[in-house]
Structure 1
Amino acid sequence: MNTSAVFEKARAENRAALIGYLPAGYPSVAGGIDALKAMVDAGVDVVEIGLPYSDPLMDGPVIQAAVDAALRAGTDTTHVLRTVEAVAETGTPALVMSYWNPIDRYGTERFARDLASAGGAGAITPDLLPDDSDEWLPAARAHDLDTVFLIAPSSTDERIALTAEACRGFVYAASTMGVTGTRDQVGDAAAGLVARARTVTQTPLAVGLGVSNGDQAAQIASFADGVIVGSAFVRCMLEADSPAEGARAAGKLAADLAAGVRRR
């Protein structure tokens, strides 16, 4: 099933889609795969797999801690693609979340080709603007990959329209300005951002940054097509006494969030 089909299915079920993130290679490549599979089994509809990078501008301290550990263990793009392949084999769309520099270093066409060969659905590129995507967009289109870009409350209407036009799969709406991380409350600006975006696109809109529990997921699901959760899943892994316990905790959180997106 591709990403668009997931959103269509969720819409037919009168709910939002649940999108879950973990960086590849933490606590190990195999341990990360086990956790992602537990999340899928518990109700995550789409998986984001982080490509560890040494200069993660948008990542808060929780994700940075896991990414740093993955890098120290030698995680590279080949391990990310192995993780994509393992998730894709479950029938769940797997997108790579990556800053542009690692993709550029790997080779844009090569990355698109290898991601598609691994069964990947596409990529989310948080620091890449559609205006600067002359290399990425043609390569992604040639391999039928989703291209997901970010909009934020500070985005102008013109910028939202331009970004949505370049997106395939869904538009990533950042609920607040700043780095990733769980928050006690999800910013009110998210609903306004989604409302503005709906005036210029029919592409599904998924909201992320700050969601950490089922109640917050239900709040977002009341106005968005998808709910994105990252730091809360990573925290499960960081605080666990063992990789197996981390996978169980991530699965338990996924079940809570999956119930939340159904309470819209």
Structure 2
Amino acid sequence: MTTRLRRRLEQLESERRGMLMGFLPAGFPDPAAFTAAARAGFDAGLDALEVSMPGPAPALDGPLIQQAAERASQHLSGIPAALELAAASRSLPDDTIVALAYASTLDGVDPDDFFDALAAADIDAYLLPQHPMAEQLALGERAQARGIEPVIFLYLEEDLPALAASAIERPVIYLQSASLRTGGQFIPEKAQERLRELGEALGGKQYFVCVGFGVRGADEVELLMDAGAHGAIIGTRLVRAAEDGPEAITALVDEVAPALVGRRRAADAGSGSATEHRAAR
């Protein structure tokens, strides 16, 4: 079984275009506004939406996302309700949603129960940013056996050998940039260095990599595309836009879309546009 996320990444690779992934806490600013924001993003050309489950955001998230997570949690009773809302917020059936669960969210929850909830809600990708690499990889193998896509969160250089040796074929990787918190400073040189380290460590092993933390707009996305990333993740700015309304979401995606063609710039420079990005859906 091929997941929505993998299908999207493979389609974008064939087009030599990058993936734009956004982030929102499930139910923020409220369930109706969340649905409107998600659909506006997908309609504008957002390739995937990372949706956090109810619960407090950890220190790795900046103050804006922490506040948004707290507000969102007031509207939802738990993981199943959040997954149901996320799934119902798709614009098209194949729109890609990645369920994010913090360590505190899954405290006391059996992984198989979490996978059951994902399957029941028709969400086929997830991210566990606080779990140690060994746990992410072990759970990822179990998830893939059930047709669910693990997104492997990578920050520590020391985790690269384990990732390289993993049995997960062509893993989808969320690479944390140099910033220690979402919404922090984006350091181009460090992001490029981390992408190089990843490529060198994995050698001939194929992978998809999307970069997040500190990614705000077209400038950062263009740099990441030129550096070989398969995608970019915008969180803090998308959360702020969601509170401003669907029009702000659309404007943000339209602004960033032209930068996604950086993966094919050498072959056909200047051919991308926001209109083309939407049409590719």
Superposed pair shares fold, TM > 0.5 = yes
The whole-number CA distance in structure 2 between the counterparts of 1:138 and 1:16 is 26
Conserved in 2, the CA contact under 8 Å of 1:51 and 1:77?
yes
1:155 alignment partner in structure 2: 157
Secondary structure of 1:63's counterpart equals helix
State the Cα distance separating 1:136 from its structure 2 match.
Answer: 3.1
- The alignment partner of 2:13 has SS state of helix
Check whether the contact 2:80–2:117 (CA below 8 A) recurs between aligned residues. Answer: no
Whole-angstrom CA distance in 2 between matches of 1:258 and 1:143: 33
Q: Percent identity?
A: 25
Farther off after superposition, 31-40 or 98-107: 98-107
Give SS of 1:191's match.
helix
Q: CA RMSD in A?
A: 2.2
Alignment partner of 1:217 out of 204, 216, 221: 221
- 1:10 match: secondary structure: helix
Segment drifting more, 69-78 vs 59-68: 69-78
Match of 2:195 in 1: 194
Aligned to 1:171: 173
Aligned counterpart in structure 2 of residue 3 of structure 1, from 5, 12, 15: 5
Q: Does 2:118 align with 1:115?
A: yes
Q: How many residues get paired?
A: 254
Matched AA of 1:7: L
Equivalence map 1:215-254=2 (5 Å): 215-223=219-227, 224-238=229-243, 240=244, 246-254=245-253
Please show how residues 73-112 of structure 1 align to structure 2 within 5 Å.
73-87=75-89, 90=92, 91-112=94-115
Q: Deviations over 1:31-70 (max 9, x none)?
A: 1121011111111111111113225231101111111111
Q: State the one-letter code of the partner of 1:250.
A: I
Q: How far 1:115 moved relative to its partner?
A: 0.5
131-140 or 107-116, which deviates more: 131-140
Unmatched segments (≥5 aa) in structure 1: 241-245
Q: CA deviation at 1:84?
A: 3.0
Which residue pairs with 2:65 in the alignment?
A: 63
Instruction: Report the Cα offset of residue 103 of structure 1.
Output: 2.5
Measured in 2, the distance between the counterparts of 1:256 and 1:66 equals 23
Counterpart amino acid of residue 52 in structure 1: P
What stretches of structure 1 move > 4 A for 4+ residues in a row? 166-169
Tell me if the contact between 1:24 and 1:75 (Cα under 8 Å) persists in the aligned partners: no
Letter in 1 for 2:206: Q
Relative distance call for 1:88 and 1:139 in structure 2 (3 A) is: farther
C-alpha contact (below 8 Å) 2:54/2:76 kept by paired residues: no
Q: TM-score, normalised by structure 1?
A: 0.87
Unaligned runs of 5+ in 2: 264-281
* Counterpart amino acid of residue 78 in structure 1: P
Residue 248 of structure 2 aligns with an amino acid whose one-letter code is A
1:130 match: 133
The alpha carbon displacement at 1:166 in A equals: 6.5
Equivalent position amino acid for 1:54 in 2: P
Once residues 30 and 79 of structure 1 are traced to their aligned partners in structure 2, the CA distance between those partners, rounded to angstroms, is 14
SS in 1 for 2:20: strand
What is the distance in 2 between the residues matched to 1:75 and 1:237? 21
d(CA) in 1 for partners of 2:236, 2:167: 26
